[in-house]
Amino acid sequence: MEKEMKQSKFKRICVFCGSSPGKKSSYKEAAIELGEELVSKNIDLVYGGGSIGLMGLISQAVYDGGRHVIGVIPKTLMPREITGETVGEVKAVADMHQRKAEMAKHSDAFIALP
């Protein structure tokens, strides 16, 4: 039986999270669960643009669920935080300040994970 899609007042949520998986498996589980919850509420993801760690897990979960994903990453971090294929749309920016401004520009709300 398919899950019923619920509407949210938010269209896009920015999630701040790490490019490492963290020391506890609960961090990884939380990232995946949050991604699945965003999908169930019909919410797109804006995040830091990395394909590894918690960023990679949540972006893949949202993308696999059919929602739009926007990653925003400074050009200097691309070699370290992107390995393999990226998901969704990736916006390369000049620095961390521009990264945060761009994330805010595309988001209705923010959630922070470890």
How far from 48 is each of 3, 6, 76, 81, 89, CA to CA, in Å? 28, 26, 13, 9, 11
pLDDT score of 12: 98
Q: Give the integer Cα–Cα distance in Å for 69 and 87.
A: 7
> Mean pLDDT, the chain, as a whole number?
92
- Predicted confidence (pLDDT) at residue 1 exceeds the cutoff of 50: no
Helix residue spans in 41-89 (DSSP H): 53-64, 78-81
Query: Top-level CATH class of 12-112?
Result: alpha beta
Query: How does residue 93 score in pLDDT terms, banded at 50, 70 and 90?
Result: very high
> What are the pLDDT digits (tens) for 5-24?
567 799 999 999 999 998 99
Neighbours of 11 (CB within 10 A): 14
Domain ranges of the chain: 12-112
Amino acid identity for residue 97 in this structure: H
> What are the pLDDT digits (tens) for 50-67?
999 999 999 999 999 999
The pTM of this model reads 0.89
